[in-house]
């Protein structure tokens, strides 16, 4: 299974061959552009187009026992494809692109608020990030700093580094928030800014390629969840007056 989204987040369609159908109806392919739920980013939805033009609606994408297994979950009452059948994959691009914009915004928020992250969850129109922090912080001020990073239009790119390289230069990972996964041989770093001057952190998700694509966002809410936990909500659009 080739996870094409890891190298090209903008790939909204591709051809693939059906390699397996699971007992629960989940579909496995030789390659896919459908992102599987992970790291707070929900898996892709969309449809598979068959040779005769009919469609198989996909309502979610998840990992199997390992990250190497990606399972496409058809909606109820969809026809099952045949093993060996070639299908054309189509992601619900509007939804995925919003997820990419908000996911990238979460990285920018971790630059503006350099506190340990205890949780994150991204939806189509709202992303939440939980920080281990006790300080009170003004949402207008955070919004302003976020938008400065968006408007600076920093490049966002992926860099793969070996674990040895990381051991030798632990500062390569600028965010102190994230503990890089070990034992995989190499790490996927998401870098922001020329030479990763703004940020770099391990992440397997999909992101926009320059920060201006995030567009207008604001902090909708900062909730106090316990003495040392603050929950930030990032939303699209201007901050309501
Ligand atoms: Zn990410």
pLDDT of residue 226: 86
Q: Nearest-CA neighbor of 83 among 40, 8, 27?
A: 27
Q: How far away, in angstroms, is 224 Cα from ligand 1 center?
A: 24
- Give every strand in the sheet of 117-122, ordered side by side: 117-122, 127-131, 230-236, 217-224
Q: How far away, in angstroms, is 141 Cα from ligand 1 center?
A: 23
pLDDT of residue 182: 65
Q: How far away, in angstroms, is 159 Cα from ligand 1 center?
A: 12
Partnered with residue 188 across adjacent β-strands are: 160
Q: How far away, in angstroms, is 106 Cα from ligand 1 center?
A: 8
Q: How far away, in angstroms, is 189 Cα from ligand 1 center?
A: 9
Q: What angle do CA 71, 74, 79 make, to 5 degrees?
A: 125
Distance, CA of 121 to CA of 110 (rounded, Å): 14
Q: How far away, in angstroms, is 72 Cα from ligand 1 center?
A: 21
Q: How far away, in angstroms, is 178 Cα from ligand 1 center?
A: 11
Q: How far away, in angstroms, is 50 Cα from ligand 1 center?
A: 32
Distance, CA of 76 to CA of 153 (rounded, Å): 42
Indicate the length of the chain as a whole number.
241
Phi, psi of 16 (to 5 degrees): -155, 160
* pTM, to two decimals: 0.94
Give 10-residue mean pLDDT values along the chain (241 residues). Answer: 94 98 97 96 98 97 93 97 98 98 97 92 96 92 98 96 85 70 78 95 94 98 91 96 83
Q: How far away, in angstroms, is 203 Cα from ligand 1 center?
A: 5
Query: Which domains, and CATH codes, for the chain?
Result: 2-91 (2.40.30.130), 96-236 (3.30.980.10)
SS3 180: coil
Q: How far away, in angstroms, is 84 Cα from ligand 1 center?
A: 33
Q: How far away, in angstroms, is 85 Cα from ligand 1 center?
A: 33
SS3 4: helix
Q: How far away, in angstroms, is 86 Cα from ligand 1 center?
A: 31
Residue 197 · residue 142 · CB < 8 Å:
no
């Amino acid at each position: 299974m080739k996870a094409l989204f890891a190298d090209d987040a903008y790939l909204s369609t591709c051809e693939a061959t059906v390699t397996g159908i699971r007992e629960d109806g989940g579909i496995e392919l030789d390659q896919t552009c459908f992102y599987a739920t992970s790291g707070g980013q929900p898996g892709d939805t969309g449809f598979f187009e068959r040779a005769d033009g009919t469609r198989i609606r996909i309502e979610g994408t998840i990992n199997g026992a390992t990250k190497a297994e990606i399972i496409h979950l058809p909606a109820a009452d969809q026809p099952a494809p045949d093993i060996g059948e070639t299908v054309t994959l189509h992601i619900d691009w509007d939804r995925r692109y919003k997820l990419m914009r908000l996911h990238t915004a979460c990285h920018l928020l971790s630059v503006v608020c350099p506190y340990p992250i205890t949780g994150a969850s991204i939806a189509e129109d709202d992303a939440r990030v939980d920080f281990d922090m006790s300080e009170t912080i003004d949402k207008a001020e955070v919004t302003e700093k976020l938008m400065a990073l968006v408007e600076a239009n920093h490049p966002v790119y992926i860099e793969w580094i070996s674990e040895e390289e990381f051991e030798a230069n632990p500062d390569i990972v600028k965010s102190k928030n994230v503990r890089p996964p070990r034992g995989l041989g190499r790490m996927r770093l998401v870098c922001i800014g020329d030479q990763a001057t703004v940020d770099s952190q391990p992440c397997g998700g999909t992101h926009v390629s320059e920060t201006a694509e995030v567009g207008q966002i604001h902090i909708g809410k900062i909730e106090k969840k316990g003495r040392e936990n603050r929950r930030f909500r990032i939303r699209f659009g201007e901050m309501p007056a």
